[in-house]
Structure 1
Amino acid sequence: MPGVKTPVFLCALLLLAACTSAVKEQPYTEDQNRERAKADQTRMYAQQEPVSGSITFYEAAARALKYNLDYRLKLLESALSANLRDVSSHEMLPRLVASAARSGRSNDSGGTSIGIIDRQVSLRPSTSEERYHTIAGLGLSWSTLDFAVAYYRTAQRSDQILMAEERRRKVAQNVLQDVRSAYWRALGAQRLLPQVDGLLARTNDALRQAREAQDRGLLPRQEILAYQRALLDSISLLTQRRQDLEFAQAELRALMSLPPTQPMQLVDVPDPPLPKLSQDLTQLEQVSLVRRPEIQEEWYRQRVNQRDLEIAKAQLWPSVGVDLSTRYDSNNLLYNSHWQAAGIEVSINLLRLLQIPSLNAAQQSQMETDEMRRVALSMAVLTQVRIGALRYSLAMQELQFANESLTVDTNLLDYARSARKTSLGSDLELIRAEGRFLLSRYQREAAQSTAQAAWGRLYNSVGLDVFPATIDNYDLKTLAGEIERITQTVETQKLVDAVPGDGSPSIAK
């Protein structure tokens, strides 16, 4: 077939050229990078309910859970695990393969026969196959080994779905803990920033006046320099505290996935009563061992690891394969162009049986390792519960001390205002008193947020979920109401009892 050789040769050359040519790097252009950055920024804040009015703590928690990117990522990972499980489940089905082919050759196939003893040609050359013919078939095959491996893989995927769900729970718990800490710090910033800015302006004005007095020689140089030093110390301290307050508001915006320039007003209500622990720490430890998502995830991981070894053992079994097919061949020289075929095959790799002792030892070692890892994690969880309770107790004591300090500095400020005169020293004392007062206010707000954060961390260490199981099914307002309802339900279950905010916690022994 001279006409066929040339196209085949050209196709071979093209294929060889494609194989030998290296794939070149294709970096993204600047325009593509800018478009990608713009699209990513748009997706960060897409599909969010607009902020209307002041934000309560429960609305902030609902916004963080509904729009937080880390939490949304865990939701996508859970969905991916479910899809991969569905893919693995289809591997248990038999294989149904349809095939079609067109065959051709440049000359006839065929042959002759010779005698075994005399080596004489006994037949003339003949063929039973046309040069060009079409082959088609539909075959159904099933193997017990493939089914067993697919079954264990699907079981692993199912456990990985549960592991992804536990990771989602952990992220949600961490988000709520961060919101609890950031919200109360941001609320303190909202309360204090106007006063801090006002005092900074008055302090800078006093510093300007002091420098003018120094230039005019109105006061002794040592006295005026000491006065300026005191003012500069106040400005430095106030500026540092102001930065801390601004960082708290920025952190809360990030947790709620709000744009950095988004105006944000928090509901300024009296601080809610802080709870005390009314349950034995031993009971809280038992709850944590049952509820903590890390322990649950580790337990599911143990099953996943065990099934890896079960897959290895399944490959030692005899494999039974069943094949059913229907065939067609357009070769006119065949006696039957259509036929059906069936077959069954049993096979086993005898050398793999030598792996049985090693697999048994590996399975035992894997089980002991997984159990020890889980026990070590459980010990860490128990320590976190104890430390969380102690941290909360210390935070409550710090809050009580901050309240007492604020009361004293409030009285000192009232006294400084009453004793104010026109002298430069009195102005300095008033500024110092106002600075101490604002510092006490800052420390009191910081102690309040620290106590709230310690309480949230104790929630987290126990593994309590104060949010609904399916967050996407709720709008923002309903989700905030559900979080508030579940939180109150947890408190009524005697895990916590509300006490006045200035009380100190009591931990049952």
Structure 2
Amino acid sequence: MPSIKKSMSRRRILGTLALCGLLLPGCSVTPQALNVDALNQQRTQDLAQMFGHVEPIQHPLTLAEVVARSLRFNLDHRVKVVEEAQALDLSSLDKFELLPKLAASSAYSGRSNDSASSSRSMLTGQQSLEVSTSQDREHITSDLDLTWNILDFGVSYFNARQNADRRLIAHERERKVIQNLMQESRSAYWRALAAQELQPRVQAAIIRAESALKDAQKVEDSALRSPLESLRFRKSLLENLRQLESLAQEMATSKVDLSAMMTLPPGTVFTLEVPQGPLQVPEWSMPLERMEESALMSQPDMREMAYQGRIVVDESRKGLLKLFPGITLSTSRKRDSNAYTLNKDWYETGVKVTWNLLGLLSAPDQLAYNKTNEEVMEIKRLAMRMALLAQVHVAWHQFDQAKVQLRRSSELFDVEKQIVRHTSNRTENDAQSVLEQIASETSAILAEMRLYNALALSHNALGRMMATTGQDPDIGSIGEGKLEDLTDRVENWLGGQFPHAATRSKPIFAVAAPATSVPTPTTKGSVPAATTSNNTVSAMTTSAVEQVGTVRGNINVRSGPGKHYQRLRIIPQGETVTVLAVHSDGDWSRIGENEWIATEFITISAPAATILEIGERVMVTAQAILRSGPGLQHEQVRTPVFGEGFTVMELSPDGQWLRVGDDEWVSSSVTSRHP
């Protein structure tokens, strides 16, 4: 009897504790609004995650590094990378859904009295046995069950196939983000570079226009001119000022957009490196028919649609599978601590078949739904193919038009530069001259801006063609190696799009045409590689008479005659240099001890002895190269012999180049009058 009371007391305690455990959580949960400290902490953590892994900028950014930073640090790309990893994890989990279910369980059972019973005879209606029990008041049971439902296995198999396709879809979406980043970062680079180069000139022009506007107001107030003339003058000034201010507003956000693309903190100050050499339209050699085929086979949206089609087919099969009966195979190991049980441990096996017979009524509707669903996906796929074919042709024509716009913008920019030069040479100080100068400066700035925009448009059009045809950049894994390694791979890939950049045989335009050239040698040699011990140049260079020139643009000084040599420093635009020697290929000039810059960016003042007239005879007095046009950007025609004589047939507008034959031009700095 005491033992029974003790057991009942223990059960009451357990019951009370269980009831308290159920009630307490419901009483303790109350809404908690975010406080300022929590929000500040979250903000700090988010900013650290956003910008903490971004490497600081320590030098001017090249186009390749801008692209590399956008690919490595852009948050949109990081989202797609994480989504692909998530899809991979889900696909890895699916294999466990295909396995049988192995479940272990254990249960405790107790009651306050004995589970006793008796029996009654069905014949006599009298009690046939004494009251008895066959179960302990407290006992523990344990089971280890292995079950496998064949229907669930089939459904899990199709689920695994669908999730595997979703993983591939996540990869295609990452490809699409990479292609878009390649397109947008290149275009944003040129827009930001235009803002960097033009903003100082725009601000100076605005200040000058505002000063002229104030002077015009004073003249109008003093009645020195007719009111109509003064109003027209002020109107012209205000129109130019409005154009300049609109341009300044447009450029103000260029670097902000580029910073966001590279995940830089807002307000980060950085400088973009001005590319050397003639600015060129990217090359595209794939024919239109091949572009159509590539788009239909490789474009990320098209491949995603194909994977979606497979998912729909598997969904149809999964719906049909659920109409079949489910067969469950089971085996288990059991144990019961009941003292009245003879065999406390035993095994059980079984087979169970369940079939929802009413579910068969939905079979016709299920088949019709599956057919309609697959037809919808097929129509979507056909519509996607049609849209892609149209996009290929649109992208093709846009790229063609972008090249035309770039060429026209270059020609217009050259004209505007000459107008500025002529108007700036005027010495009149009257109001009309000031207005002409301001108008010509404004037009030149706008023309240069259109030039940069046309270049950005051409790169954007190229990126659109790559994205439309599903062409991935050949740069390896974005997360592999350091940022410098990724930058090198991007630079090599970008270099492949400009196959003529090394020889400059097909330049589209240069930012400024050279006034005269540095003498070039007769022998065309290859650019030597740098030695491992130092960056001295082992190839022969041709000595030249010391000539003083000015640098056009911010130019890199390298330790040898080639872009693969180490970059030493940057010479700012307008700085004076002395050319000591010219490399054998004529493309690089030495300006100091192991200091080389690109020859085409040096402007040499022509000596007085070379001021010639048409019809005069000249002879070659230094090593030179005849070119197809007046400037280093034109193709090389041949190398004249030292002392060879020519008749001057035409002079370039600046007098620095002489036409001495059909499509043969020579620099006046390497000739003299024939004695």
Report the alpha carbon displacement of residue 15 of structure 1 after superposing the two structures with TM: 6.5
Counterpart secondary structure, 1:266: coil
Q: Aligned residue for 2:362?
A: 355
Correspondence for 1:156: 162
SS in 1 for 2:317: helix
Alignment-derived partner of residue 301 in structure 1: 308
- Equivalent position of 2:183 in the other structure: 177
Residue 291 of structure 2 corresponds to which residue in structure 1?
284
- Is 1:134 the counterpart of 2:140 in the alignment? yes
Q: Which amino acid aligns with 1:450?
A: L
Q: Deviations over 1:220-273 (max 9, x none)?
A: 444334333322222221111012122222111111111222222112124542
1:176 and 1:113 map into 2 onto residues whose CA distance is: 87
Higher mean displacement: 336-345 or 374-383: 336-345
- What displacement does 1:189 show? 1.5
TM-fit CA distance, 1:30: 2.2
TM-score (norm 1): 0.91
Partner Cα separation in structure 2 for residue 468 and residue 347 of structure 1: 56
- Kindly provide the CA deviation profile for residues 85-135 of structure 1, in whole angstroms up to 9, marking residues without a partner as x: 122221111222121222111111131111223322111111111111122
Q: Does 1:465 align with 2:465?
A: no
Distance 1:142 1:227, change over 3 A: same
Q: Which amino acid aligns with 2:384?
A: L
Deviation at 1:287, TM superposition (A): 0.7
Tell me the residue number matched to 1:495.
none
Is the 1:276–1:499 contact (alpha carbons within 8 Å) kept by the matching residues of 2? no
Deviations 1:16-49 (A, max 9, x none): 7568769643331222222212221221112122
Partner of 2:128: 122
TM-score, normalised via structure 2 length = 0.69
What residue in structure 1 maps to residue 449 of structure 2?
Answer: 442
Cα distance in 2 for partners of 1:203, 1:99 equals: 88
On the 8 A contact 1:169/1:293 being kept in 2, the answer is yes
Separation in structure 2 between the aligned mates of residue 485 and residue 414 of structure 1, nearest angstrom: 39
Residue 323 of structure 1, CA deviation: 1.8
Contact 2:283 2:498 (8 Å CA) reproduced: no
Q: 2-side partners of 1:252 and 1:12: how far apart?
A: 61
Match status 1:373 vs 2:390 = no
1:407-440: per-residue Cα shift (whole Å, max 9, x none)? 2222221221122312222212211111111111
Amino acid in the other structure paired with 2:217 = R
Determine if the alignment matches structure 1 residue 42 to structure 2 residue 60. Answer: no
- Residue 108 of structure 1 aligns to a residue whose secondary structure is coil
Q: Is the 8 A contact 1:133 1:331 kept in 2?
A: yes
Residue 274 (str. 1) matches residue 281 (str. 2):
yes
From the superposition, tell whether residues 307 and 110 of structure 1 become closer, same or farther in structure 2 (CA, over 3 Å). farther
2:203 maps to which residue?
A: 197
Distance in 1 (alpha carbons) for counterparts of 2:350 and 2:158: 26
- RCO greater where, 1 or 2, for CA within 8 Å and sep 6 or more? 1
Contact 2:283 2:497 in 1 (8 A): no
Q: In the superposition, relative to structure 1, how do residues 32 and 467 fare at CA in structure 2: closer, same or farther (>3 Å)?
A: farther
Moved more, 13-22 or 98-107: 13-22
Name the SS for the 1:236 alignment partner. Answer: helix
* Structure 2: distance between partners of 1:432 and 1:272: 27
Structure 2 match to 1:94:
100
For 2:246, give the aligned amino acid: Q
The one-letter code sitting in structure 2 at the alignment partner of 1:178 is E
CA distance in 1, matches of 2:73, 2:147: 48
1:75, distance to aligned residue in structure 2 (A): 0.4
Post-superposition shift, 1:6?
5.2
Q: Which amino acid is 2:385 matched to?
A: S
Alignment of 1:21-420 (within 5 A): 24-269=30-275, 270-275=277-282, 277-420=284-427
Say which is worse superposed, 212-221 or 282-291, in terms of deviation: 212-221
In the alignment, the residues of structure 1 paired with residue 265 and residue 303 of structure 2 have an alpha-carbon distance, to the nearest angstrom, of 35
State the AA in 2 paired with 1:205.
S
The 10-residue stretch of structure 1 (233-242 or 294-303) with the greater mean CA deviation from structure 2: 233-242
**Aligned-pair CA distance for 1:12:** 7.1
SS at structure 1 position matched to 2:343: coil
* Residue type of the alignment partner of 1:230: S
In the TM superposition, residue 285 of structure 1 has moved relative to its aligned partner by: 0.7
Q: State the 1:300 CA deviation.
A: 0.5
Query: In 2, distance between residues paired with 1:322 and 1:10?
Result: 41
Structure 2 counterpart SS, 1:362: helix
- Residue 488 of structure 2 is matched in structure 1 by 481
Q: Distance in 2 between matches of 1:408 and 1:485?
A: 35
Q: CA deviation at 1:215?
A: 4.5
Segments of 5+ residues of structure 2 without an aligned counterpart are 500-504, 511-675
Q: Is the 8 A contact 1:420 1:427 kept in 2?
A: no
| Residues 220, 227 of structure 2: 8 Å contact kept | yes
Once the two structures are TM-superposed, the CA of residue 180 in structure 1 deviates from its matched residue by 1.6
Q: For 1:189, give the aligned amino acid.
A: A
CA distance in 1, matches of 2:68, 2:227: 59
Q: Deviations over 1:282-337 (max 9, x none)?
A: 22111111110001011111111221222222223333322222222221111122
Deviations 1:376-409 (A, max 9, x none): 0111111111111111122222222212222222
Q: Secondary structure at the match of 2:105?
A: strand
> CA contact under 8 A between 1:413 and 1:437: conserved in structure 2?
yes
Q: CA deviation at 1:358?
A: 2.9
Distance 1:167 1:139 in 2: 43
Kindly indicate whether the alpha-carbon contact (under 8 Å) linking 1:163 and 1:297 is maintained by their aligned counterparts in 2: yes
Is this contact kept in 1: 2:187–2:457, CA < 8 A? Answer: yes
What CA RMSD, in Å, does the superposition of the two structures yield over aligned residues? Answer: 2.5
Separation of aligned partners in 2, 1:53 and 1:166: 34
Contact 2:192–2:258 (CA<8 Å) still a contact in 1?
yes
Question: Does the aligned pair in 2 maintain the 1:420–1:430 contact within 8 Å?
Answer: no
**Residues 212 and 245 from structure 1, CA distance in 2 versus in 1: closer, same or farther, beyond 3 angstroms?**
same
User: Aligned equivalents of 1:218 and 1:388: distance in 2?
Assistant: 58
Deviation at 1:490, TM superposition (A): 7.3
Aligned to 1:506: none
Rounded to whole Å, the distance in 1 between the matches of 2:78 and 2:474 is: 15
User: Which of the two has higher C-alpha Rg?
Assistant: 2
2:413–2:451 contact (8 Å) kept in structure 1 = yes
Residue identity in the other structure for 1:302:
G
Moved more, 178-187 or 15-24: 15-24
In the alignment of these two chains, the number of paired residues is 498
Instruction: Tell me, in whole angstroms, the C-alpha distance in 2 between the residues paired with 1:271 and 1:190.
Output: 19
**Which amino acid letter does the alignment assign opposite residue 327 of structure 1?**
K
Distance 2:344 2:329 in 1: 23
- Summarize the Cα distance change of 1:86–1:109 in structure 2 as closer, same or farther, 3 Å threshold: same
Q: Is the 8 A contact 2:139 2:336 kept in 1?
A: yes
- Give the C-alpha shift of residue 201 in structure 1: 1.8
Report the AA paired with residue 152 of structure 1.
F
Q: Is the 8 A contact 1:44 1:257 kept in 2?
A: yes
Contact between 1:275 and 1:499, CA under 8 Å: does it hold in 2?
no
